[in-house]
């Protein structure tokens, strides 16, 4: 069997930064060539970043992407890297009209190209376009109708893009018809809980259907609400895992593959399944025997559930800060579990020296909460100050008659105003501490708790908040470090401390119960009757459903945060704000 040394470049592209992304392709290709790679692959739309959303509709951006692709091919050759084919995703355009989709020639496409010897030797567009969950690709793109097959060193390599393997048929089945020895798939697959297991099962199934080895390269990093976890994988036709990259890290995965010799005599233009036309590119090179010293196939260990979620939250926060040209963050540190977790995430993301926290006690703030906030700052080494809001609060109450909920929310809004004033003065961005349970039922004060540029735990239920806090402390102990979060912060009953002796359970069900109902209603899209039928108290379900439905306007005004669940508030779940349907 011929041998092919493949390199999968698991990198972090920045949306819109064509120059930086091109530099990264050159840099990682150089590393791959130095490792002896004969074929190098980069993620979906690596040249433009992903997703580009409505930037795809700007002709100037499309043309800049196409020009950058040609320039990149020349750069690779000029740097002595042109002999190794490079597969890279970019934003392209269609050459022909797509009457079925009502789109003219020149419409945007999610494309990939093969760069070789200073030229763009083949281009192709994504065949299956996702239009569910966080994806809106029918809004931006028209699909492609080709199956590109590269003949390289005596092996036929079929190419596909992300959703092409998430849907049945298409390029997977076409690769079998074309008798490919390797199916190479470039991806921009966002993270969500347990997706690594789902992804592995998918590539194993598709490798069997294609009848060949399947190599899957994914990106890492964050883009607004989306986080990309890498998890690039190579599996054999029998489903055996041959190599796997670590999660949430840039990484070059290099391995030697023994692949069947190309034997097909199919010619260009052959019509395959789903209207795909075969397009061949002869790249040359003699078949290679297995090297005397093959590369050691790496199979990175998987992270635990808590470690995986933590890595996603840290990656998303780090990316948002860095890619928006900020260096530091500001957090209102109350001594409660939510702000403590946000501060710990921020410290891991950008370093304690770049994290600034403010304790803003009111007349209702307990001494233990003030002490817990100061103790977290001591343990982590972040910047910490105290600015009491009691004088401001008293001044407001002297000027206007506020009681009950209005009085409680005034404290939160004073804190929000103070955080934004410090942000403006010192140049930090504010991180909002709201969690998914609170956002779901509207227990997050507008223009108070919701103040901020980014919400690191926006997609994390309260019950998971506690598990993550305990995990992070245990992880610190395992490393021989000081646990960042004081035990009292984790063990005390949750409270907003906006009135005397207040605890969250005064107005909400126990969080384990609340989150169970929320998970069924939000992630599971179950209606009220189905949730009651599962054994939940009808009165609890009715109350929770009503709270969720009437809080949509508040959630729309909350900042973005990293998606870690199957369905987040934002790109995933889009309900009308003005809505009188109340049956769940």
List residues with catalytic annotation. Answer: 44, 126, 162
Structure token digits, residue 417:
């105003």
Which H/E stretch holds residue 356?
strand 355-359
Burial class (CB in 10 A: 0-12, 13-18, 19+), 315: buried
Distance CA 574, CA 133 (A): 10
Whole-number Cα distances in Å, 540 to 503, 517, 526? 18, 9, 15
- Check: CB of residue 221 under 8 Å from CB of residue 13: yes
Ranges assigned E (strand) in 101-231: 108-116, 119-125, 146-152, 155-161, 182-186, 213-217, 220-223, 226-229
Place of tokens 């054994």: 535
Q: Which of 88, 85, 174 is nearest to 127 (CA)?
A: 174
With 0-12 / 13-18 / 19 or more C-beta atoms within 10 angstroms meaning exposed / middle / buried, residue 419 is: buried
Looking only at the bridges linking them, the beta strands covering 213-217 and 329-332 are unpaired
Residues 6+ apart with CB under 8 A from 433: 331, 332, 334, 338, 339, 342, 449, 455, 457
Helix (H, G, I), strand (E, B) or coil at 531: helix
Compute CA distances 539 → 366, 509, 528, 565, 580, whole Å: 33, 11, 11, 27, 20
Using alpha carbons, select from 3, 31, 1 the residue that is nearest to residue 291.
3
Cα dihedral: 346, 347, 349, 351 (round 10): 130
């Amino acid at each position: 069997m011929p041998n092919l040394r493949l390199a999968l470049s698991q990198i972090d592209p920045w949306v819109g930064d064509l120059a930086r992304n091109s530099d990264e392709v050159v840099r990682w290709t150089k590393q791959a060539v130095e490792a002896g790679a004969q074929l190098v692959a980069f993620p979906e739309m690596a040249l433009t970043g992903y997703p580009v959303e409505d930037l795809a509709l700007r002709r100037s951006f499309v043309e800049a992407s196409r020009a950058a692709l040609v320039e990149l091919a020349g750069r690779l050759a000029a740097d002595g890297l042109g002999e190794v084919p490079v597969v890279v995703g970019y934003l392209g355009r269609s050459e022909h009209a797509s009457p079925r989709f009502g789109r003219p020639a020149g419409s945007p496409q999610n494309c990939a190209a093969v760069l070789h010897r200073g030229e763009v030797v083949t281009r192709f567009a994504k065949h299956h376009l996702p239009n569910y969950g966080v994806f809106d690709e029918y809004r931006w793109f028209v699909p492609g109708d080709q199956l590109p097959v590269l003949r390289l060193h005596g092996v036929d390599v079929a190419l596909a893009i992300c959703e092409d393997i998430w849907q049945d048929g298409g390029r997977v089945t076409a690769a079998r018809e074309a008798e490919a020895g390797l199916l190479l798939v470039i991806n921009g697959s966002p993270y969500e809980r347990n997706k690594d297991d789902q992804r592995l099962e998918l590539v194993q199934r598709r490798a069997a259907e294609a009848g060949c080895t399947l190599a899957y390269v994914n990106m890492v990093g964050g883009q607004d609400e989306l986080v990309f976890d890498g998890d690039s994988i190579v599996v054999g036709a029998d489903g055996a895992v041959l190599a796997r990259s670590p999660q949430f890290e840039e990484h070059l995965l290099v391995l030697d593959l023994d692949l069947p010799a190309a034997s097909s005599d199919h010619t260009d233009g052959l019509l395959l399944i789903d209207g795909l036309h075969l397009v061949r590119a002869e790249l040359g090179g003699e078949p290679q025997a297995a090297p005397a010293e093959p590369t050691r196939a790496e199979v990175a260990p998987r992270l635990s559930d808590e470690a995986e979620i933590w890595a996603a939250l840290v990656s998303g926060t780090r990316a948002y800060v860095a890619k928006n040209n900020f260096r530091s963050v500001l957090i209102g540190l109350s001594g409660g579990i939510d702000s403590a977790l946000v501060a710990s995430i921020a410290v891991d993301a950008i370093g304690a020296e770049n994290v600034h926290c403010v304790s803003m006690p009111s007349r209702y703030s307990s001494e233990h909460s003030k002490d817990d906030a100061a103790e977290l700052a001591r343990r982590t080494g972040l910047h910490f100050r105290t600015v009491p809001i009691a004088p401001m609060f008293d001044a407001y109450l002297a000027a206007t008659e506020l009681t009950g909920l209005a009085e409680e929310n005034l404290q939160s809004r004073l804190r929000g105003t103070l955080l934004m004033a410090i942000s403006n003065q010192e140049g930090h961005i504010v991180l909002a501490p709201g969690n998914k349970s609170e956002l779901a039922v509207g227990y997050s004060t507008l223009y108070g708790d919701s103040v901020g540029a980014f919400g690191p735990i926006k997609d994390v239920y309260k019950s998971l908040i506690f598990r993550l806090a305990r995990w992070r402390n245990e992880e610190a102990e395992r490393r021989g470090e000081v646990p960042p979060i004081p035990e009292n912060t984790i063990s005390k009953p949750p409270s907003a401390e906006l009135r005397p002796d207040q605890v969250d359970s005064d107005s909400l069900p126990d969080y384990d119960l609340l989150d169970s109902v929320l998970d069924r209603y939000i992630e599971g899209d179950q209606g009220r009757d189905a949730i009651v039928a599962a054994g939940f108290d009808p009165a609890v379900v009715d109350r929770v459903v009503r709270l969720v439905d009437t809080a949509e306007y508040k959630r729309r005004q909350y900042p973005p945060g990293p998606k870690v669940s199957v369905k987040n508030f934002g790109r995933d779940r889009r309900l009308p704000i003005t809505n009188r349907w109340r049956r769940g």
